[in-house]
Structure 1
Amino acid sequence: MHDEITTRPARELARLMRTGELSARETVQAHLDRIAAVNPRVNAVVTLCAERAMAEAAAADERQASGAPTPPLHGLPVAHKDVHETAQVRTTFGSPIFAENVPERDELIVERMRGAGAITIGKTNVPEFAAGSHTFNPVFGTTLNPYDTTRSAGGSSGGAAAALAAGLHPIADGSDMGGSLRNPASFCNVVGLRPSPGRVPAHPAALGFSTLSVQGPMARDTADAALLMSVIAGPDPRSPIALGDPGAVFAEPLDAEGGLRGLRVAWTPDLGGAFRSERAVLDALRPDIEVFTALGCEVEEASPDLSGADDAFRTLRAWQFAAAYGELYDAGSDRLKPSVRWNIEQGRLLSGADLARAERLHTELHHRMRLFFERFDVLLLPTAQVAPFDAALEYPDSIDGQPQETYLDWMRSAYSISITGCPALSVPGGFTPGGLPVGLQIVGPHRADRRVLRVGHAFEQATRFGARRPDLA
């Protein structure tokens, strides 16, 4: 019975608890048992608060028995990303500097999930300060891929993605600057949505006007991702870029009348030569184009002009790293991992003219994407340029013979989209001949978050790639 509980979709678990067919205590205990049995293989959940979780589950059952209204995430167990501050639960940011840090309050995304009935069972692993798309740190070690435990689970929301794939909890929160919701989703055969900036407001946020990093949902399918979006999206006066649309719009069914017939779809394997992908990745994704054709879409190979995306993203990212972590660097740079130190140092080399150039490029990218989406409804491309790589590596040093000189180089397929501000969804897109997951990235126009979820939902219903779960017996 426990295995059956931990494989069910979040929305089904919520329904069963709402109708009384399943208790919150049963649901939480099943997931705690699954963590005990499986987590040592993958190292996804790194801080556990089992006793607190069971007490919260008992309180949830009592509230329901009293006839009180049942919130949308009632009884659902969640381990929060270890860069999201969680009241009275150790939050380390993957850094020895914060190894014993216990926040006094929840940040907004955690506050909203808990306010909607979710039960905190722990924290999920991250790379140090969420820097990089491979999850390892000196506090907790490396998170491994449930489909092949010699491989990376991606990052920086790698612990969240691996936990979802392994059945450790049914929904997860994450964040994304250069691909951190999408790359791990691709590696672990789950769903990750990078929402439009401001769709999921963040607080506290030292750089509250920045649109480069966003928070968002992860799940095992798009409908569960939409369920979580219905809770974490929506306006908040503490965020200066928060969008005004209520989160409730994501609670509406994703099935559209007429399906995707007539949808104008652009497919690009490389954004016009901006990046290179492994042959195994492209071989897995090319049949997906035929799926969209079969669904009645008008598919054309085309790419927006994203010249300047690399310069704009790397400049603004480096500036943010210098702003966010410069004081830690000055207090003792040897306490930070080399890639974090490098990004801070790059930021400190920037001039005002560099930032002005980056912002001009940023604006130009927005307008070129706006015009591109007058011709097309969505853009398809690889989520990650590589299949899950050897977990002993920090990052892939080459792609089909092309050197990758920094920890960012191999993430262009994701961060080139980040800088546009467009919503982007990674859905399970197939498998390599060796059985490793490959994600398909679906990008929509500015603020068309529901559209990318709806398209992803139709695709996953047609392919069922996400139903193929890892064998961790």
Structure 2
Amino acid sequence: MDISTPTGLSARTVLAAFARGDLTPSAYLEACLSHISRVNPFINALTAFNTERAVAEAAAATARWQDGAPKGALDGLPLGVKDLQDTAGLLTTHGSPRAVANVPSTDLPMVARLRAAGAIVLAKTNVPEMGAGGNTRNPVWGATGNPFNPALTAGGSSGGSAAALAADLLPICTGSDTGGSLRLPAAICGIVGYRPSVDVVAHPTRPLGWSGISVLGPMARDVEDLILMLRAVHGGHPNDPLSMSYPADRFDRLAERPLSTLRLGYSEDFGGAPIDADIRATFLKRIEAIAPQVSECRAVDMGLGAMDRVFDILRAESFLTAFDGPARETPELFGPTIHANLELGRSFTLTDRGWAHAEQTRILRAFNARMEGLDAILTPTVPVSPGPWSAPHVTHIDGEEMDIYYRWLALTYRGSLTGGPAITLPAGRDGSGMPFGLQMLGASRGDTDLLAVARSMESFLEADPETARPRPDLSKLRAVTPALRSIVTHPPVLHPQRRGADPSVHTAV
């Protein structure tokens, strides 16, 4: 193991080096800070820092490791926390002018659990304003660039976390996911993002506690590091009625799932979502490579119901609940994307809401039928290669105009509707030379099964240079003009054509 440049090592390898005494948390933190100082100015992934506290905590962790008594499974690992998530004593802005001075007094429970395991909260990771959208840019911190090309988007809303991991700034980061915010940026930055089942990681700050559309989850460079984080953060909380406390060792011993035993389904467009021809071709090429290695690999019809309209309504009701009052009181503190989302929410009725929840139930049952006899269903994660961060959102895919600014996230948000787990694995590059992500969907509450499948799939992909996780060439990073922090906010497209549809009508499945 080469510890002379430790920032590129896996979290597990770093922890093993701490245990042997080959590396200390203090020396590792110093290496991370030095690397951050060189690379972060090009991509703007990390925002607020608490360096002084981190240095002190690393010194304490160093002493514990030297005494053979680490605090927990993550002792001494620097951590990046998504800027939507509270961190005690560290600025948490949500990318909004409304929260530019917000320094929470307590941690979000997920963050508290990571601290309890020994992780050191070093920095916040950048987000879109209030987490709205698949492009990480906001009026407080500016835009995050993709480490493979800083002129291109890192995705969102966990774009800062994905970019920080891909650029080796930090070994582990947190994320959250409503319509793909863990998976989309992970895919286009070439790392692993995991949306757990709704009951796995307690989310007690969710505005609608009985709605599972939004979840919290880990992000890492590989599946094993992601599982390492998941072991620390899973568990219930009394203020999250959907969360559950499983045995503490739930993720300690995953079943072995040899590739040859797997039964897989696949859909190149998740029931007809628009997808670029090159992405479709790349996905089918991956399926062609996988199919001979597994027990079964067959196409699955993923037309599960009126998925787009359901997501529009469920997302809007959550957004309206969280932001309608504050936006009416101080409209000048919210950008046009937020106001457009709120207007959409106000246009829906109680009838719309009732239909959406009933249709989501039908979608789940249709998905369960598709999963019969299968271990996972594969789709592309993102329908296009990443475009410039200066463009607020994707407007057209394969000649089709997007009717709403987040419609390009359909491949991921349709998967959110089942309530089950979904993971994206890096699988080489697309035709434009950018990272390509392979999304895998599992059965509801089948998290351990899906992770075991993902571990086997990752091993297969990593064995071939064409499908292995790509690494950005950080030596070629150049400053983007105009500067990443100099952005102009444009109003989003927010007028879904299905908004006026009869809510009593749904697609037969």
TM-score range, shorter chain: over 0.9
* Equivalent residue number for residue 450 of structure 1: 448
* Equivalent residue number for residue 270 of structure 1: 269
Contact 1:233 1:246 in 2 (8 A): no
Aligned residues, how many? 470
Distance in 1, matches of 2:95 and 2:132, equals 10
**Residue 325 of structure 1 aligns to which amino acid in structure 2?**
F
Secondary structure of 1:248's aligned partner: coil
Distance in 2, matches of 1:352 and 1:104, equals 37
Counterpart mapping for 1:60-459 below 5 A: 60-252=61-253, 256=256, 259-273=258-272, 275-459=273-457
What's the CA shift for 1:384? Answer: 0.8
* Equivalent residue number for residue 32 of structure 1: 33
What's the CA shift for 1:335? Answer: 2.4
**Residue 472 of structure 2 aligns to which amino acid in structure 1?**
P
What's the CA shift for 1:3? Answer: 6.3
1:293-324 Cα offsets, whole Å, 9 max, x none, are 23223011112332121111110111111100
What's the CA shift for 1:67? Answer: 3.9
Is the aligned partner of 1:460 residue 2:458? yes
Contact 1:424 1:444 in 2 (8 A): yes
Normalised TM-score (structure 1): 0.96
Secondary structure of 2:450's aligned partner: helix
Contact 1:3 1:30 in 2 (8 A): no
What's the CA shift for 1:28? Answer: 1.0
1:164-198 Cα offsets, whole Å, 9 max, x none, are 00000011110000000000011100000000002
Q: Which runs of 5+ in 2 are unaligned?
A: 476-509
**Residue 219 of structure 2 aligns to which amino acid in structure 1?**
M
Distance in 1, matches of 2:437 and 2:235, equals 27
Distance in 2, matches of 1:171 and 1:143, equals 18
Distance in 2, matches of 1:210 and 1:251, equals 29
CA 76–327 in structure 1, closer or farther in 2 if over 3 Å, else same: same
CA 471–2 in structure 1, closer or farther in 2 if over 3 Å, else same: farther
CA 174–15 in structure 1, closer or farther in 2 if over 3 Å, else same: same
CA 466–4 in structure 1, closer or farther in 2 if over 3 Å, else same: farther
CA 228–454 in structure 1, closer or farther in 2 if over 3 Å, else same: same
CA 3–291 in structure 1, closer or farther in 2 if over 3 Å, else same: farther
Normalised TM-score (structure 2): 0.89
Secondary structure of 1:347's aligned partner: helix
1:469 to 471, 496, 509: 471
Distance in 2, matches of 1:284 and 1:390, equals 21
Contact 2:152 2:389 in 1 (8 A): yes
1:377-406 Cα offsets, whole Å, 9 max, x none, are 211001111111111100111012111132
**Residue 370 of structure 1 aligns to which amino acid in structure 2?**
N
Contact 2:264 2:376 in 1 (8 A): yes
Distance in 2, matches of 1:238 and 1:39, equals 36
Distance in 1, matches of 2:468 and 2:342, equals 38
CA 185–373 in structure 1, closer or farther in 2 if over 3 Å, else same: same
**Residue 373 of structure 1 aligns to which amino acid in structure 2?**
M
Contact 1:388 1:437 in 2 (8 A): no
Distance in 1, matches of 2:135 and 2:363, equals 28
Distance in 2, matches of 1:427 and 1:395, equals 23
Secondary structure of 2:330's aligned partner: helix
Contact 1:312 1:362 in 2 (8 A): yes
What's the CA shift for 1:466? Answer: 4.7
Secondary structure of 2:440's aligned partner: strand
Distance in 2, matches of 1:2 and 1:165, equals 19
Give the aligned CA root-mean-square deviation in angstroms.
Answer: 1.6
What's the CA shift for 1:253? Answer: 5.2
Contact 2:428 2:470 in 1 (8 A): no
Secondary structure of 2:106's aligned partner: coil
Q: Which runs of 5+ in 1 are unaligned?
A: none
What's the CA shift for 1:342? Answer: 1.4
Deviates more, 1:172-181 or 1:336-345: 336-345
Distance in 2, matches of 1:6 and 1:252, equals 27
Distance in 1, matches of 2:146 and 2:9, equals 20
Secondary structure of 2:261's aligned partner: coil
**Residue 423 of structure 2 aligns to which amino acid in structure 1?**
L
**Residue 270 of structure 1 aligns to which amino acid in structure 2?**
D
Contact 2:61 2:70 in 1 (8 A): no
Distance in 2, matches of 1:334 and 1:406, equals 23
Distance in 1, matches of 2:379 and 2:202, equals 27
* Equivalent residue number for residue 490 of structure 2: none
What's the CA shift for 1:230? Answer: 0.7
Deviates more, 1:234-243 or 1:442-451: 234-243
Distance in 1, matches of 2:20 and 2:238, equals 35
Distance in 2, matches of 1:454 and 1:3, equals 32
What's the CA shift for 1:247? Answer: 4.9
What's the CA shift for 1:203? Answer: 2.5
Secondary structure of 1:394's aligned partner: coil
Deviates more, 1:373-382 or 1:192-201: 373-382
Deviates more, 1:64-73 or 1:127-136: 64-73
Distance in 1, matches of 2:209 and 2:355, equals 21
Secondary structure of 1:375's aligned partner: coil
Secondary structure of 2:372's aligned partner: helix
What's the CA shift for 1:138? Answer: 0.5
What's the CA shift for 1:101? Answer: 0.7
What's the CA shift for 1:65? Answer: 3.1
Distance in 2, matches of 1:150 and 1:252, equals 41
What's the CA shift for 1:18? Answer: 2.3
What's the CA shift for 1:246? Answer: 3.2
1:442-462 Cα offsets, whole Å, 9 max, x none, are 001101112222222222211
